[in-house]
Amino acid sequence: MPGSSKQILPGLVALVVLAPIIAACSSDNNIPVLPKFASFVPESLALGSAGNQATELRPVTAADLVDQQGRCAAPPAQAGSEPTDASRLLPGGIALEMTECDVVRRAGAPDQIEFGTTDRGGRALTLTYTGGPRPGIYRFADGRVVSIERGPEPAAPPSAKPKRKRPAAKQPAPA
């Protein structure tokens, strides 16, 4: 049986070398191997979410939902009253997981509203903005933004500097 020991020895060596590595990987999954991307980016610059991913979102209440006309049931706590024009909209962008009223307070009254139900029987809403500061289609499930389709950007305002017209060249008078 000298031939079979030559075949077993490499396998045994591999098992001895790999066993500690396999044991270390499976013993504790909570040890961070690499830092998370969010640790390198300040929260104020983070993109794609309504807040810090580590915190839990508060539950959506009736005050966070819009009615059939696209208005919020309760006015925002910070502003004191529902914004009605672009000059009174809350500053900032719109991100996933925001509530329906958060979006309306930032983008204004929608041009089109569609209500429905999700696959799980929850509330589904689509708000369409064709103009304003943030044109696009915002889809909600159970009161929170789940997808954003960007609309056409508003046309750039005409330059404030009027163009000067050149005076017409004078033609010599006939003699």
Rounded to 5 degrees, φ, ψ at 161 are -85, 115
Using CA atoms, how far residue 74 sits from 17, 52, 137, in Å, is: 65, 25, 23
pLDDT classification of 80: cutoffs 50, 70, 90: very low
pTM of the model: 0.53
Note the pLDDT tens digit of each residue in 9-68.
Answer: 777 777 777 766 666 655 555 555 555 555 555 555 555 544 445 568 899 999 999 999
Q: Are 145 and 139 in contact (CB under 8 A)?
A: yes
Q: Are 52 and 43 in contact (CB under 8 A)?
A: yes
Q: pLDDT higher for 123 or 45?
A: 123
Which pair of structure tokens corresponds to residue 103?
């979006």
